Structure 1
């Protein structure tokens, strides 16, 4: 399995945004659309801080 969990990092704390993310797609308005393995979707505003695919983690920051 290649999916990862997405987190928002703010003030040194990580908050889970979505589990089992299969697709991260940048949108024209500067947001990111995250799509899960079952088709669930969220849109977040922020920037990618780090992607560690070995550990299955995507970190965003505001």
Structure 2
């Protein structure tokens, strides 16, 4: 499986946003639509800080 979990990084801590993210689409400046493997969707505001695909993590910051 190639999906990853998405997290916000706040004060050096990772806060889970969504598990099993399959697709990330930009909506506007610093706004992203996350789509999970089961079709669940979430829109977040932030910037991509890091994508670590080996560890299946996508890190966002505000």
**TM-score after normalising by structure 1:** 0.95
- Between the aligned partners of 1:55 and 1:44, the Cα distance in structure 2 is 21
Aligned to 2:49: 49
Stretches (4+) displaced over 4 A? none
Aligned to 2:36: 36
- Between the aligned partners of 1:50 and 1:56, the Cα distance in structure 2 is 11
Q: Deviations over 1:5-61 (max 9, x none)?
A: 000001111100000000011112530000000000000000000000111000000
- Between the aligned partners of 1:59 and 1:30, the Cα distance in structure 2 is 13
**TM-score after normalising by structure 2:** 0.95
Q: What RMSD over aligned residues (CA atoms) do the two structures have, in Å? A: 0.8
Aligned residue-pair number: 62
Partner of 1:27, secondary structure, is strand
